[in-house]
Structure 1
Amino acid sequence: MQEEEIVIRLTRDEALVLSEWLERLQTTDLGRVVDDSAIWAPLHRIAGTLDKALPDLFAADYAERLDAACRRLRPE
């Protein structure tokens, strides 16, 4: 039986900020944060999907784009 897929919609700002967070999460000591190895598959799938969908990640001004996205997403 094939599992039903779930679609999550994000704005470009949300996707950019989430992608950065996932990258930082994956390059730290995840044993303290991720206590169940089953979470790795969906985390990698989300991160990979974001990497493919966001050309901003490879822009020369990535840091500025990320900073601007963070500012727009923070509550006033």
Structure 2
Amino acid sequence: MEDPEITIKLTRDEATILSDWLERLQMTDLSNTVDDPVAWAPIHRIASQLNKMLPALFFPDYDQRLEEARRRLRPIDEDGTED
């Protein structure tokens, strides 16, 4: 029996933040967090799909775009300040 594919919908900002986090996960000691080698297959697949869908990852102003996405997604406290 074949597993059906699962679709996850993200905003562009959410996808940008997730892509950045996955990149850091794969390239740093955070990889020690993923102690099951089987988990890397879906992590790499998600990262690959995000890379294809987010051409801005390769733009010279990517760092600025990433920070803007973070700012837009950062929760705002009840007093109106960012968390």
Q: Name the TM-score, length of structure 2 as normaliser.
A: 0.87
Following superposition, which runs of at least 4 residues in structure 1 exceed 2 angstroms of deviation? Answer: none
Instruction: List alignment gaps of at least 5 residues for structure 1.
Output: none
2:34 and 2:52 map into 1 onto residues whose CA distance is: 24
2:25 and 2:37 map into 1 onto residues whose CA distance is: 14
Instruction: List alignment gaps of at least 5 residues for structure 2.
Output: 77-83
- SS across alignment from 2:28: coil
State the Cα distance separating 1:50 from its structure 2 match: 0.1
Cα deviation digits, residues 38-72 of structure 1 (max 9, x gap)? 10000000000000000110111100000000000
**Structure exhibiting the larger radius of gyration computed from Cα positions:** 2
Identity of aligned residues (%): 61
1:48 equivalent to 2:48? Answer yes
1:35 and 1:69 map into 2 onto residues whose CA distance is: 30
Aligned to 1:75: 75
State the Cα distance separating 1:27 from its structure 2 match: 0.3
> What letter matches 2:71 in structure 1?
R
RMSD: 0.7
Aligned to 1:22: 22
> What letter matches 1:24 in structure 2?
R
2:52 and 2:9 map into 1 onto residues whose CA distance is: 15
State the Cα distance separating 1:35 from its structure 2 match: 1.3
How many pairs were matched up?
75
